[in-house]
Structure 1
């Protein structure tokens, strides 16, 4: 029997040379993940987690690994400047660290911020747990984690961020990932390791931007560990170019009394997917998420949120809004699991969505699985259109139809930004939301 012909995307990813670190355990992990990806290939819609996100078109493309000119490509710093954000910064362009665009010369005491490639030149042992942990979830034949395996095999750089115990970092830390236009279609991969020590506090801004040009494929995997009593506020702004495919996985672990708050704004890209997994492993841990995804044109934006309550008296709240226009498609899966013994858990998840045109589509799937007693849990999802009575009221006050629709849609989205503590950044994100709306 003849073997199936690999997809062009799979071939191009397997043809890329593996990074050689000279660290035995890391090189072995990269090779194992490469072999696992070769065995499993890409997921199709028969894999439950990819049911609404087909990779047929992406699978027919070929990407060149890495950009030899990334270190010298011109990047306008104004593309990632944000009001209310003027602190330490790491910038990567097409997967390559750019010292000239970064700001790490003067770091506050207790904050370590450096590229992964630099950290590996020193004592790499503290990174072993994060980087050698298999990206194989379940049977090797399952393809659902294909891009996590690609990343684990191919990522030679990324972010290492550590906050020492009891340190409160005053200024927000900014991580910027730029896709700069090149002459060919590029693939690049980054791996982030972020750790907050006991009772530490950090505000983290994660930005994804790119310019027009040949298509790019980028993968980003982040391991985030929030220790006892620590507090993390994480804001993610994604506004990449229309030809970019951006696939991310973020894994957050919260220890006793730790608290993480996440605000997400997903605007750009051709195919964008974010697998966000949180494990509340310590008593009294809390995880709150707020998000907006706004695909338009032929964009496809897929958010997979999975929260696992594993300890006593943990809490989570999730409030997500989706708006789709033209022939765009949005996907949101929100899953909450309360493990045996996680008594006293309190979890709520809501996803409300608007369709602004007949050709738009949003698929939403809330899930709730409870294996403990004395639990409070709720979830819900809606997909609909703008309220006609509200439109009528605004039009009766002399507001044109297009403006009335934009006002109502903006108010619908802004609701998830109300508790963003950085006022200047909150207003900036609101302006970006309005600019994304049709006829705005």
Structure 2
């Protein structure tokens, strides 16, 4: 007996039926294949280990129609909605998944090619084949990635040639307008840094209104030999937004990538990041914070794969949950056979600020090589009462003392952010988001 598809799946299939063909045979075939994979599995259930702590039964009963591009193009968006200090260079703005040229500035220096995905496909689609038409990994755990690959029609492509540098950070902005309630949008971002190239990308999620929307974003990064990539992602979506993001970076020999992530918004948010160190002496560092309140649910999945000799990774993540919120962190380090000389560490520390809040953390370590240095650890606790007593003994009010300690707990993950003004701004955003007092 075949079960009828859920309202979520039916709506996705209806949305796919409204998409016009791209005119590129391999792309249309890939979209069909991903859609079939999604339809075959539907959304993952809690029995799926990768989704164990993020139940999707309620989401499966919701139907998200395709966001109308015409409405997205007409939405009034003020620059103040996404302005970040110290990030004043090239900018690509997407509203409900649609590229807005009127809000974007794609001017870049010599050796850098930056354009919308639609323009890139029109100009020269074949180089995008590797990123847009990979072999489909069938499985319910990848349901949202399949959905994105099937339905995303817009996005961004950044290529930096060998030895070139993107002089200023690229600001990639995803805005949910809220004007199209119960709608879904999907975008793809492809970044390739040539040998010895350098770039900083700031990914920013914001909402204009409280309308319930679903967004999916899949980012692919290829960092060639001796290249360096800095990634900063700041998520401050509305309390009605459901957001899925997947980032995948491949690091060749002597390549370096750094990720900083700050999660503040959203109702149901899933952030998956996969780092593959496929070249000798590749380096990857990640720092992240989630600060949750109300009934927010944020799920972070970090997967670091060491596949070459003398590679190194360092992960430091912090989590705070207040109210009835729930945070999830799963960090996996895999050291493949032959990846001798690997140096890997992962630390995840969390604070519960309410008796009703919940945090689930699961660090994992798999080692199949010799001569490896690896460590991982996780903690869940409450504010240190001795430190709190010390601050109060110095005349600091109870609520302010708690906020100071909570902020200090988080700042370790933001201390290495590139750019002083951006670092201070994100610290201020975090501070304003933290509760003034802790619920007993």
TM-score (norm 1): 0.97
Contact 1:315–1:345 under 8 Å retained in 2: yes
Q: Which residue of 2 aligns with 1:273?
A: 270
Q: Which residue of 1 aligns with 2:88?
A: 86
Secondary structure of 2:154's counterpart equals: coil
Q: Which residue of 1 aligns with 2:34?
A: 33
Q: Which residue of 1 aligns with 2:10?
A: 11
Contact 1:82–1:425 under 8 Å retained in 2: yes
The number of residues matched between the two structures is 434
Q: Which residue of 1 aligns with 2:115?
A: 114
Asked whether 1:302 is paired with 2:299, we answer: yes
Q: Which residue of 1 aligns with 2:222?
A: 225
Q: Which residue of 1 aligns with 2:237?
A: 240
CA distance in structure 1 between the partners assigned to 2:135 and 2:96 by the alignment = 25
CA distance in structure 2 between the partners assigned to 1:418 and 1:251 by the alignment = 24
Q: Which residue of 2 aligns with 1:69?
A: 71
Aligned-residue offset at 1:213 = 3.1
Aligned-residue offset at 1:421 = 2.5
Aligned-residue offset at 1:212 = 2.1
Secondary structure of 1:336's counterpart equals: strand
Aligned-residue offset at 1:183 = 4.2
Instruction: Provide, for residues 77-112 of structure 1, a one-character-per-residue CA deviation record: whole Å limited to 9, x for no partner.
Output: 1011111111011000001010110012x3211111
Contact 1:237–1:264 under 8 Å retained in 2: yes
Aligned-residue offset at 1:358 = 0.2
Within 5 Å, give how 1:133-144 maps onto structure 2.
133-136=134-137, 140=138, 142-144=139-141
- Greater CA drift, 336-345 or 418-427: 418-427
Aligned-residue offset at 1:62 = 1.0
Q: Please point out which of 359, 364, 368 is paired with 1:362.
A: 359
Q: Which residue of 1 aligns with 2:46?
A: 45
- Greater CA drift, 75-84 or 348-357: 75-84
CA distance in structure 2 between the partners assigned to 1:386 and 1:171 by the alignment = 39
Contact 1:111–1:161 under 8 Å retained in 2: yes
Q: Please point out which of 149, 152, 159 is paired with 2:149.
A: 152
CA RMSD of aligned residues (A): 1.0
Contact 1:274–1:303 under 8 Å retained in 2: yes
Q: Which residue of 1 aligns with 2:129?
A: 128
- Greater CA drift, 179-188 or 325-334: 179-188
Change (3 A) 1:183 1:418: closer
Aligned-residue offset at 1:64 = 1.2
Aligned-residue offset at 1:438 = 0.7
Q: Which residue of 1 aligns with 2:60?
A: 59
Aligned-residue offset at 1:113 = 1.0
- Greater CA drift, 268-277 or 16-25: 16-25
